[in-house]
Homo-oligomer: A and B are copies of this chain.
Amino acid sequence: MKIENRLEEIGIELPPPVKPVANYVTTVQTGNLVFTSGHGPVNMSGELEKGQLGTDMTIEEGYQSARLVGLGLISTLKDTLGDLDRIKRVIKVVGFVNSTPDFLDHPKVVNGVSDLFVEVFGDKGKHARSAVGMVQLPGGIPVEVEVIVEIED
Tell me whether B101 and A135 are in contact (CB under 8 A): yes
Chain B nearest Cβ from A32, distance in angstroms: 8
CB nearest neighbor in B for A30:
B150
Number of identical protomers: 3
In A25-41, the 8 Å CB interface with B consists of 25-28, 30-33, 35-38
- Complex Cα gap A139–B103 (Å): 8
Tell me whether B107 and A138 are in contact (CB under 8 A): yes
- By a CB distance below 8 angstroms, the chain B residues around A89 are 28, 30
Jot down 5 A-B pairs with beta carbons below 8 A, ordered by A: A22-B111, A23-B111, A24-B129, A30-B32, A134-B134
Point out residues on A near B: beta carbons under 8 Å. 20-28, 30-33, 35-38, 89-94, 96, 98-107, 111, 114-115, 117-118, 125-140, 144, 146, 148, 150
Q: A104-B139, A106-B136 are in contact. List 18 more A-B contacts (CB 8 A).
A: A22-B111, A23-B117, A30-B32, A30-B91, A30-B150, A35-B148, A38-B132, A94-B130, A94-B146, A96-B130, A96-B132, A99-B136, A100-B136, A102-B136, A104-B140, A107-B138, A132-B134, A132-B138
